[in-house]
Amino acid sequence: MQLTSSHPRTRPIAAGHLRAFEAVARHLNFRAAAEELALTQSAVSRQIQALEDEVGTALFLRHTRAVEITSAGSQLLRAASMALERVDAAVRQIRQSAGRKSVAITTWASFASMWLIPRLEAFQRDHPDIDIRIDATDNAVDLATSDVDLALRYAVPQSMPASAQRLFGEQLTPVASPWLLKSHPIHSVEDLARCALIEAGDAHRTRHLEWLTWQRWLDTFGTPAAVSPSGKRARKNLEHNKLTPQRWMYFNYANQIVQAALTGQGVALARLPLVAESLASGALVEPLPHARLDSPLAYWLMVAPRSLQRPEVKAFCDWLLEQAAETRQAIGDVPDPDTVDQMD
């Protein structure tokens, strides 16, 4: 169907039919869209027809057993999907502000499970009237369009906006369970060759994350006696910074790496901020504490502009910055001068 007119239409279309349009475009099926919207199939069909009349061209091609979106429909879908998402986010925000106080946080799963969640009980004890929602995902969430109030990110400083607040930096250090070290004591780099070594499996394929690899650590500390308190210069299994361990173990998530170390399966190259509590409790031991590798990556707080003035969000951010200060103290974090002005 091609609608033509000697005079192009200029008035804006009515927005009421866009929800039906988006549902049909997503399902490519009028019946499925009608079920989702709790409407009759004929009602949805009439809404699409009315929208096509307003736009001035066909948005779908109706076949006997299928629906196909046109190029004009695809163009409208891109805009409509973004617009509806923003409207829905605004409505959710309004409903939240009119009802219970809540804070929505987006972060990645390992950080949520290893750093944030273990500390949340203290915040909820002091603020029992504030609901917390954590969206744990590896995908960056757009704070401008989502219903998330704040984001906790892991990145190099130059990739963060000026509004981001630095929580703490990072060092990489070997860690192991105390009972593994009883049978395989580690006093130097050479001793690592008698153990399984655990590292991030995808670090070699991702920019900046190569800092999480044993090879990067060995490039710094793998020279003879570089990390040996005794000063011995033996080099049996270490040549040109190439260590041959008993075996390698690779995991995609930091919490998996640490869990493997906690259960004595090997020595992990761990992110110090994420294992500080385990080191303090003795669940993990840092056998080479003088061999910490500084990482260019840091942990950051970003707050959605629309959420900045909400008291519950401000309370959570204040608490979060207090927790970050404790972590900095625990790991001896000294911020880079370029980011010191972003500290709390």
- pLDDT by residue (tens digit) across 86-105? 888 877 777 766 667 889 99
Q: What is the pLDDT of residue 9?
A: 61
- Residues 263, 115 share a domain: no
Listed residues 63, 95, 127: the one ending a domain? 95
Instruction: Name the domain count of the chain.
Output: 3
More confident residue, 207 or 281: 281
CB-CB contact of 151 with 307 (8 Å): no
- Residues 120, 69 share a domain: no
Candidates 303, 263, 299, 300; CA nearest to 284 is 263
| Residue 229 reports pLDDT greater than 50 | no
Question: Which structural domain, as residue segments, surrounds residue 31?
Answer: 15-95
| Residue 329 reports pLDDT greater than 50 | yes
Average pLDDT, integer, range 61-80: 92
Distances (CA, A) of 104 to 92, 112, 151: 11, 13, 9
Listed residues 95, 110, 130: the one ending a domain? 95
| Residue 223 reports pLDDT greater than 80 | no
Average pLDDT over the chain, rounded to whole? Answer: 85
pTM to 2 decimal places: 0.66
- Residues 309, 266 share a domain: no
- Residues 277, 195 share a domain: yes
| Residue 207 banded pLDDT, cuts 50, 70, 90 | low
- Residues 185, 164 share a domain: no
CB-CB contact of 300 with 194 (8 Å): no
Q: In whole angstroms, what is the distance from residue 77 CA to residue 87 CA?
A: 15
Q: What is the pLDDT of residue 340?
A: 44
Average pLDDT, integer, range 293-311: 93
Q: 135: how many CB neighbours lie within 10 A of its CB?
A: 15
CB-based burial label for 32 (10 Å; 0-12, 13-18, 19+): middle
Q: What is the pLDDT of residue 97?
A: 64
- Residues 131, 36 share a domain: no
- Residues 184, 150 share a domain: no
